[in-house]
């Protein structure tokens, strides 16, 4: 029986949105792997020390180390943990989440090489990241996409008499949540009946800024705070469009979830999103930070019922390819 150590920010118990370390570790455990995770520590220094201690503690019984790897400050968790894995002679697998990782490869080539060149493999959850890494000369990259458990996502074809927008993400500046408020304001200014619900926890002060922005524009927005997956999936039944406003992204699971639920999708055309969404086939892609482009896309979806219904059926079929029952074989083959 293989023993895995999985390192990442396991902070859902501290009010943060569950991340891959929460979901994937549970799924791998169900497949018979022994999985030890770290870390739940909220202090960044203590979290890194806990990760390193976990590696040392389980070094003699660990077969592989999985490391959630992002492009911002959390990149350094992965870097130091990878160096320690090299010292302990443990094979490690960075899971490449950060939508801005290609910039990191360019701006920090030596640190990146020290981390990624000596990995057992680098797991790319999107073809966007895989292609970017290969462009920089990395050959040890394997595509294993993010997954969902499809049975949790009831498909529903929705009417669109009123445009009811749903936004689901952590409130972080890189996800540009204020744009969603600007889109609502623009719709209302045009005399279009519309609502907006924004689901997600505060990360960097952006939630307060977004609430203040809504107040300045004098539009009413529902802010739910953090919801469990079950709660926001139930809430989604009352909405008929999913908007993804991010400025940087890789392969967001919330977008796959929206596809599975039958929510028509309008997203910015950045990072890995054009690799995930085929424009006017499984969703609509628009320029980043462009409220008018969002509004035009939404009005077109509202007006053309046949096209909208074709998009959501295509999107559901695409989402089915990310079901864990399909993806788990890639992980099992890699780890065995």
pLDDT surpassing 70 at residue 15 = no
pLDDT score at 73:
81
pLDDT, tens only, 87-99: 999 999 999 997 8
pLDDT surpassing 90 at residue 277 = yes
pLDDT surpassing 90 at residue 322 = yes
pLDDT band at 250 (very low <50, low <70, confident <90, very high): confident
pLDDT, tens only, 156-174: 999 999 999 999 999 999 9
pLDDT surpassing 70 at residue 81 = yes
Q: What is the Cα–Cα distance from 159 to 308, expressed in whole angstroms?
A: 10
Q: What is the Cα–Cα distance from 87 to 114, expressed in whole angstroms?
A: 12
pLDDT band at 19 (very low <50, low <70, confident <90, very high): confident
Q: Which two tokens stand for residue 196?
A: 């907006």
pLDDT surpassing 70 at residue 3 = yes
Q: Mind spelling out the 3-state secondary structure of the chain?
A: CCEEEEECCCCHHHCCCCCHHHHHHHHHHHCCCEEEEECCCCCHHHHHHHHHHHHHHHHHHCCEEEEEECCCCCHHHHHHHHHHHHHHCCCEEEEECCCCHHHHHHHCHHHHHHHHCCCCCEEECCHHHHHHHHHCCCCCEEECCCCECHHHCCCCCCCCCCEEEEEECCECHHHCCHHHHHHHHHHHHCCCCEEEEEECCECCCHHHHHHHHHHHHCCCCEEEECCCHHHHHHHHHHCCEEEECCCCCCCCHHHHHHHHHCCCEEEECCCCHHHHCCECCCEEEECCCCHHHHHHHHHHHHHCHHHHHHHHHHHHHHHHCCEHHHHHHHHHHHHC
pLDDT surpassing 90 at residue 65 = yes
Of 310 and 19, more confident: 310
Q: Which two tokens stand for residue 73?
A: 């400050």
How high does pLDDT run on average in the chain?
A: 95
Average pLDDT over residues 117-129: 95
Residues 64 and 4 sit within 8 Å (Cβ to Cβ): yes
Do the first three CATH levels of 3-144 and 150-320 match, i.e. the same topology?
Answer: yes
pLDDT band at 263 (very low <50, low <70, confident <90, very high): very high
In DSSP terms, which residues pair with 68 in a beta bridge? 95
**Count of residues for the chain?**
336
Of 10 and 167, more confident: 167
Preceding peptide of 123 cis, ω within 30°:
no
Q: Does domain 150-320 bear CATH number 3.40.640.10?
A: no
pLDDT surpassing 90 at residue 14 = no
Residues 122 and 65 sit within 8 Å (Cβ to Cβ): no
Q: What is the Cα–Cα distance from 107 to 130, expressed in whole angstroms?
A: 18
pLDDT surpassing 80 at residue 58 = yes
Residue whose pair of structure tokens reads 């200014």 in the numeric block: 189
Which residue, among 84, 33, 22, 78, has the nearest Cα to 57 in the 3D structure?
84
Which residue, among 74, 100, 131, has the nearest Cα to 248 in the 3D structure?
100
Burial code (b: 16+ CB inside 10 Å, e: under 16) for 130-158 equals: bebbeeeebeebeebbbbbebeebebeeb
Q: What is the Cα–Cα distance from 141 to 161, expressed in whole angstroms?
A: 46
CATH class of 3-144: alpha beta
Q: Which two tokens stand for residue 53?
A: 């201690």
In DSSP terms, which residues pair with 94 in a beta bridge? 67
pLDDT score at 1:
83
Domain locations along the chain: 3-144, 150-320
pLDDT surpassing 70 at residue 16 = no
What Rg do the C-alpha atoms of the chain give, in angstroms? 20
pLDDT above 90 coverage of the chain, percent = 90
pLDDT score at 72:
81
């Amino acid at each position: 029986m293989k023993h895995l150590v999985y390192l990442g920010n396991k902070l859902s118990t501290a009010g943060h949105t569950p991340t891959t370390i929460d979901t994937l570790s549970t799924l791998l455990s169900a497949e018979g792997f022994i999985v030890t995770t770290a870390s739940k520590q909220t202090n960044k220094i203590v979290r890194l020390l806990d990760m390193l201690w976990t590696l040392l503690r389980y070094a003699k019984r660990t077969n592989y180390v999985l490391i959630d790897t992002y492009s911002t400050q959390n990149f350094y968790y992965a870097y130091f943990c990878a160096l320690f894995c090299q010292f302990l002679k443990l094979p490690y697998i960075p899971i490449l989440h950060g939508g801005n990782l290609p910039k990191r490869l360019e701006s920090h080539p030596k640190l990146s090489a020290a981390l990624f060149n000596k990995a057992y493999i680098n797991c790319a959850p999107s073809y966007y990241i895989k292609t970017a890494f290969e462009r920089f000369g990395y050959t040890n990259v394997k595509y294993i996409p993010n997954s969902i458990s499809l049975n949790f996502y009831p498909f529903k074809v929705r009417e669109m008499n009123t445009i009811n927008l749903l936004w689901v993400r952590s409130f972080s500046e890189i996800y540009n949540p204020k744009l969603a408020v600007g889109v609502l304001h623009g719709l209302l200014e045009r005399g279009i009946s519309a609502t907006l619900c924004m689901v997600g926890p505060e990360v960097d002060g952006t939630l307060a800024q977004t609430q203040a922005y809504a107040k300045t524009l004098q539009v009413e927005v529902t802010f739910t705070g953090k919801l469990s997956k079950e709660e926001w999936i139930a809430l989604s039944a009352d909405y008929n469009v999913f908007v993804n406003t991010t400025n940087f992204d890789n392969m967001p699971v919330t977008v796959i979830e929206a596809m599975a639920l039958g929510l028509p999708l309008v997203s910015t055309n950045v990072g890995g999103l054009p690799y995930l969404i085929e424009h006017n086939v499984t969703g609509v892609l628009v320029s980043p930070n462009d409220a008018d482009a969002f509004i035009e896309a939404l009005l077109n979806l509202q007006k053309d019922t046949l096209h909208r219904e074709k998009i959501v059926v295509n999107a559901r079929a695409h989402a089915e390819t990310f079901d864990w029952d399909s993806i788990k074989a890639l992980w099992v083959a890699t780890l065995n």
